[in-house]
Amino acid sequence: MIDDAFPLFTIITTTIALSYVACRASRLLQRLGVVMLVIAAGILLGNLGVVPQGGEVYDPMITYLIPLSIALLLFRLDFRELRMLRSSLLLYYCVGAIGSIVGGIVAWALFGERLGDAARLTGQLTASYIGGGENAVAVAEALGLRQDNPNLFSAAFAADNIVTAMWMIVGLTAPIGFSRFFSNEISQEQLEAAKEHSTPFTAAAFLPSCFYSLTIASLIVWVSMQLALPVKAYAALHQIRWLQFNTSILWVTTLALVIAQTPLRKHLQVAYSLGMLFFLYFFFSMGAVSSISEIMRLGPTVFAFTLTVVGVHAIIILIVGRLTRGDMAAIFIASQCNIGGPGTAVALAEANNWPHMIVPSILLGVLGYAIANYIGIMVAQLLW
């Protein structure tokens, strides 16, 4: 097993690079997208024992890289740009988010007594299926689930990855399997309206933008960690149970969103790309710690719990889409932004030849990153 830092870094970097090569070489793999390939490679190498599955190896990544990446990605979300999205797309995204919340509560009601930490697990999975896997880890870290019950966290994480991949496959087959239920026509107006109008970006501006982005993101993470300390101390002193968790990720989210609405945003052009670069390392580690044996050891309950959340989400968004006569692209892209985040949503848009959905996928996906932490923690506190 390779567990030294630099060889492990080399393996992860090489895996990411080969995933891009594979996507360019194969149309089938291109439909899956780089994110799913990196996660799958992590699962394979982790379960074969090539790279460690122990969470402690990846602790620095979870502790520092995730909040840093979330801040970088949120710099992309200018709330004024949400006006360019069609109202139906926002509707389906909100319906999907509600579906994930309802699904989490249903799963908690059905399987909660069999799991010792059902409330915190519900918060983790609700965050995952509104924003993405990074939100799941951030919320599990904030609620203390990863530290207090690492076996349950790891098993749920593995189940999360598998169910996310299953829903991605459903989305990829949507033009075939759901064509008689939803329209798949794309108008010229939709294609024009969805084009991203960006300012020219020169190579000379690249390095300064990198350092501006990293500096502001790092300051936000550091300040958030400092702000979280007195909040936690105050909650412990006055025995405010619902506030006794690590609030730093909520501070990171809030401060990054504030910065994204200011003129500073024009100097942070590469922030989103940097955030996605860091997240690809996280995606590999997310796959590597997904132990199939851990799922088997804990039994089918965790997998059934996870599958129920996504199943209820799917039922609700598809029924609403059918009743409102929605178009297929809007429904499945909104759903994929909920379940897998912007990386998998963009891959789905490209694979299904929905070019008008690429930019909306990014905006909706980043919106998910912004709200998932709040909602996941809120749901956990309500059920705890």
Instruction: Note whether residue 198 is domain-resident.
Output: no
Q: Is 33 a domain residue? A: no
Strand partners, 183: 327
Residue 81 lies in a domain: yes
Contact criterion met (CB below 8 Å) for 366 and 73? yes
**Tokens at residue 34, please?**
């780089």
Q: Which of 54-58, 188-192, 212-216, 359-363 has the lowest mean pLDDT?
A: 188-192
Instruction: Check residue 311 and give its pLDDT.
Output: 96
Write the DSSP assignment of 230-264 as a string of letters: HHHHHHHHTT-GGG-S-THHHHHHHHHHHHHTSGG
Residue 25 lies in a domain: no
Which residue from 106, 168, 121 is spatially nearest to 349, judged by alpha carbons? Answer: 168
- What band does 191 get if pLDDT is binned at 50, 70 and 90? low
163 in a structural domain:
yes
Taking only the tens place, the pLDDT of each residue in 128-175 is 999 988 899 889 988 988 888 887 887 888 888 889 989 998 998 888
Q: Does residue 257 lie in a domain region?
A: yes
- 204 pLDDT above the threshold of 90: no
Number of structural domains in the chain? 1
Q: Is the pLDDT of residue 195 over 60?
A: no
> Is residue 348, in this structure, part of any structural domain at all?
yes
**CA–CA dist 243, 226 (Å, integer):** 16
Residue 3 lies in a domain: no
Looking at residue 202, its pLDDT comes to 63
185 pLDDT tier (thresholds 50, 70, 90): low
What is the residue range of 274's domain? 65-181+208-383
Which one-letter amino acid corresponds to residue 332? F
Residues 361-376: tens digit of each pLDDT: 988 999 999 999 999 9
Q: pLDDT for 225-262, tens place per residue? A: 999 999 888 888 877 776 777 788 899 999 999 999 99
3-state secondary structure of 183: strand
* Mean pLDDT across 317-322: 94
Kindly tell me if the per-residue pLDDT of 32 is higher than 80. no
The values of phi and psi at residue 322, to 5°, are -70, -45
